[in-house]
Structure 1
Amino acid sequence: MKTLKLGTRGSPLALAQAHMVRDALVAAHDVAVEIVVVVTTGDRVQDRPLAEIGGKALWTKELDAALLDQRIDLAVHSMKDVETRLADGIVIAAMLPRADVRDRLIGAASLEALPEGARLGTSSPRRAAQLLGERPDIVIVPLRGNVATRLAKIAAGEADATLLAAAGLDRLGIAEGVALPLSTVLPAPAQGAVGMTCREGDDAVAALLAAIDDVPTHSAVLLERRFLAALAADCHSSVAAYAQIEGGRVVFRAEILLPDGSERQGGAFDRSAEDAAAEVDALAAYLLGAASPELRGLFGGQ
């Protein structure tokens, strides 16, 4: 078979994840894989929150275009950055085993240790809402950039602390920070998962990727993405969801929040895998029904 062209963003974390996928493919098939760096709008624009300029598509549209133009054969993504509705002609083909889903606090030993009025740097609506819910006194300041850039901004005093995904830090070999409990900071849907997309109908590439697909991760992430779809959530929405699959059962936890953290509607279920999809839809409907008109109005179609 021809050399596989694997598309990725060019950040250190994206490249680390691309090498993980390449290594897995080579081990499974002894196939040649070339890593192709694709610069995305999200990489180029660093001075504004993504929600202001187009949302998650800014991480994916150039990679999607490269796939559809056959410049690459597959693309590697942090699944939490992939839009809920995929571009026409693009499919999610596989996922690597999921890493630590928690967020790590950088800049303080705990949330309680943050001083009164501390500046928390983040451009994530979810993280901002969750932290404000725990500490209404903190001040949220915008903070974007790759992991190294954000760590440097904290060291330079642009903010007192920030939250970063434990999975990304681990993949970069960075031990800094304190993992926050899921009871306090539930992760973004699909956090910690690395996924691969390919062209719809490209059976040869899909077959290669199927051999490295981690089915429990893939199934869990699809449920979390289903929850986003059931809410009609967008990049402005403060949403958290986490599915764990074991022994044919799914334990699912989720919450929706007002941007200032003043309202937090959460729920959970433990069901058989066969019933999980319907339960996800029901949980989304329940949380929207329990929400105030202000919170419910932040989701599409409400």
Structure 2
Amino acid sequence: MNSKPLNIVIATRESRLALWQAEHVQALLAARGHQVSLLGMTTLGDQILDRTLSKVGGKGLFVKELETALEDGRADIAVHSLKDVPMELPEGMLLACVMEREDARDAFVSPRHARLQDLPQGAVVGTSSLRRTVLLQALRPDLRIEPLRGNLDTRLRKLDEGQYEAIVLAAAGLKRLGLQERIRCEFDEAQMLPAAGQGALGIEVRAGRSDLIEALAPLVHQPTWLRVAAERAVSRAMGGSCSMPLAAHAVLKGEHLHIAAAWGDPEARTPLVRASQSGLATTLEQAEALGQAVATQLRERGAH
């Protein structure tokens, strides 16, 4: 059944990648007969660029203003990179749609070196992610990991100016903006386990907007939703925020889901802790239960 045409306002950050994501959703909804416009906003996360996210309040800084626009009725839906969405949504908000995932892997980007292994001893690598920091330290303890903030174009400019030998970015963002030629290689998922929700888009609405939930239903990709539900459950059970050095990535084959997670100490005083679990996942509840089981294993092995 087609939902009746709606006038939909999308709240979005104004970075090039966020606008691409919002325009992508706008085009899909417009193709189904809806009138869709964008409300561009600058979030606190876009404004504070001199400190790492973990020190200024985490990735929720990228979604708070968008949620305020939903609450006060200026916007109907907000399109997010799911890895930026806090594990607990505010009262009265819900995740109405998870779309098909782009590449979930991390990308190695460097002007001079083809792979992480090729970097010289002590090379400077840029990332603001604690997850990437601990995984890079496990792969190459000799590297100097330095903070890297700003939108995608800013990060690439800092690399090109020579501030870093290499940087690590989400492959999905580079591919969505047509910048895949900047990717020297994608990290093997076993080497650099992605963040929960990486590469997937989520759409947030006010609870009770059944008209919007119905309009968004054709955009839902259930296999992706099952995978990210398991990943986000690990993070939620660990008290997850972007100030936690945690990776979680799920793979779905038929009705069988395999989820792997890793936790590391940013000071590198203890080795990486890994855990995994497999099982049937035909519902979000089953997927979340697998994620919770992995979090329990991590804690039993010393993650905190």
Residue number among 280, 283, 287 corresponding to 2:298 in the alignment: 287
The 5 A counterparts of 1:71-86 are 71-86=74-89
- Equivalent residue, structure 1, for 2:255: 248
Task: Give the secondary structure class of the aligned counterpart of 1:206.
Answer: helix
Residues 218-229 of structure 1 correspond to what in structure 2 (within 5 A)?
218-229=225-236
Q: Which structure 1 residue ranges, 5 or more long, are not aligned? A: 297-302
TM-score by length of 2: 0.93
Q: 2:105 aligns with which of 79, 88, 102?
A: 102
- The 5-angstrom pairing of residues 99-248 of structure 1 reads 99-107=102-110, 108-175=113-180, 176-177=182-183, 178-248=185-255
Pairwise CA distance, 1:280: 2.0
SS at structure 1 position matched to 2:117: coil
Distance across 2 between alignment mates of 1:266 and 1:74: 36
Partner of 1:255, secondary structure, is: strand
- The correspondence of residues 1-150 of structure 1 with structure 2, limited to 5 A, is 1-27=5-31, 29-107=32-110, 108-150=113-155
Q: Contact 1:74–1:198 at 8 Å: present in 2 too?
A: yes
Q: Structure 2 counterpart of 1:268, which letter?
A: S
Cα distance in structure 1, aligned partners of 2:276 and 2:296: 13
Whole-angstrom CA distance in 1 between matches of 2:153 and 2:233: 32
Number of equivalent positions: 292
Counterpart of 2:275? 267
Question: Which region of structure 1 is more displaced relative to structure 2, 158-167 or 230-239?
Answer: 230-239
For 1:14 and 1:289, locate their aligned partners in 2 and report how far apart those are by CA, in whole Å: 38
Q: Is the 2:81–2:198 contact (alpha carbons within 8 Å) kept by the matching residues of 1?
A: yes
Q: CA deviation at 1:279?
A: 2.7
Query: How far did 1:211 drift?
Result: 1.8
Aligned amino acid, residue 274 of structure 2:
G
Residues 119 and 139 of structure 1 are in contact (CA less than 8 Å); yes or no, is this contact kept in structure 2?
yes
Are the aligned partners of 1:220 and 1:245 in contact in 2 as well (CA < 8 Å)? yes
Instruction: Specify the alignment match of 1:277 in structure 2.
Output: 288
Residues 133, 260 of structure 1: 8 Å contact kept? no
Q: Kindly provide the amino acid, as one letter, of the partner of residue 12 in structure 2.
A: T
Give the conservation status (yes or no) of the 8 Å contact 1:132–1:260.
Answer: no
Deviation (angstroms), 1:2: 4.7
Residue 99 of structure 1 contacts residue 192 of structure 1 at CA under 8 Å; is this kept in 2? yes
Matched-pair contact (CA < 8 Å) for 1:104–1:180: yes
Q: Distance in 2 between matches of 1:122 and 1:216?
A: 29
Asked if structure 1 preserves the Cα contact closer than 8 Å seen for 2:12 and 2:79, the reply is yes
Contact 1:95 1:193 (8 Å CA) reproduced = yes
Structure 2 runs not aligned, ≥5 long: none
1:204 deviates by: 0.7
Under a length normalisation based on structure 1, what TM-score does the superposition of the two structures give?
A: 0.94
Moved more, 236-245 or 61-70: 236-245
Q: Does the CA-based 8 Å contact 2:53-2:243 persist in structure 1? A: no
**Quick one: distance in 2 between partners of 1:88 and 1:277?**
20
What letter corresponds to residue 271 of structure 1 in structure 2? G
Task: Output the CA distance in 2 between the equivalents of 1:279 and 1:4.
Answer: 35
